[in-house]
Amino acid sequence: MGKTRKKIWKGLTLSLVGILALAWGGKKVAEMAAEPDGDKNCDFVYYKDLEGKTVTTIAVQYEGESINDASCLNQTAIYGVVEVKNEADVQNALAFARENGLKVSLAGQQHSMGGQTFTRGGLVLNMKGLSAMEMTESGTLKVQTGATWADVQEFLDPQGLSVKAMQSINIFTVGGTLSVNAHGTAHNPGQVGATVRALQVMMPSGEVLTASPTENEDLFRHVLGGYGLFGIILSAELEVVPNVMLDHEIQFIDYKDFPSYYEENIEGNEENELFFARLSVSPFSYLTETIVHNLKHTDYDGILPALQSEEHTSVKRFVLNLSKTGDFGRWIRWVLEKYLDPYQLPCTRNNAMSQPEEICLSSRNQSMYDPVLI
**CB hemisphere CA count around 75 (13 angstroms):** 9
Q: Is this model's pTM higher than 0.85 or not?
A: no
Sign of the CA dihedral with 357 first, then 359, 364, and 369 last = positive
Strand partners, 4: none
Contact 335, 12 (CB under 8 A): no
Cβ-based neighbour number of residue 362 at 10 Å: 23
pLDDT of residue 52: 40
Q: Which residues of the chain form CATH 3.30.465.10?
A: 130-241
Fold classification of 54-128 is: 3.30.43
Q: In terms of Cα–Cα distance, which of 210, 215, 203, 208 is closest to 236?
A: 210
Mean pLDDT, range 212-241, rounded to an integer: 95
Residue range(s) in the chain whose domain bears CATH number 3.30.43.10: 54-128
Q: Quote the pLDDT of residue 343.
A: 67
The DSSP letter of residue 291 is: E
pLDDT at site 56 = 37
Number of neighbouring beta carbons within 10 Å of residue 23: 8
Residue 2 has pLDDT above 60, yes or no: no
Residue 351, pLDDT score: 39
Check if CATH label 3.10.20.90 holds for domain 130-241: no
Average pLDDT over residues 235-259: 93
CA distances from 343 to 193, 256, 339, 346, 348 (A): 34, 27, 8, 9, 12
Q: What is the pLDDT of residue 355?
A: 47
pLDDT value at residue 372:
61
**Average pLDDT across the chain, whole number:** 82
Percent of the chain with pLDDT over 70: 76
What pLDDT score does 81 carry? Answer: 86
Query: Which pLDDT band holds residue 359 (cuts at 50, 70, 90)?
Result: confident
Between 153 and 6, the more confident residue is 153
Of residues 117 and 247, the one with the higher pLDDT is 247
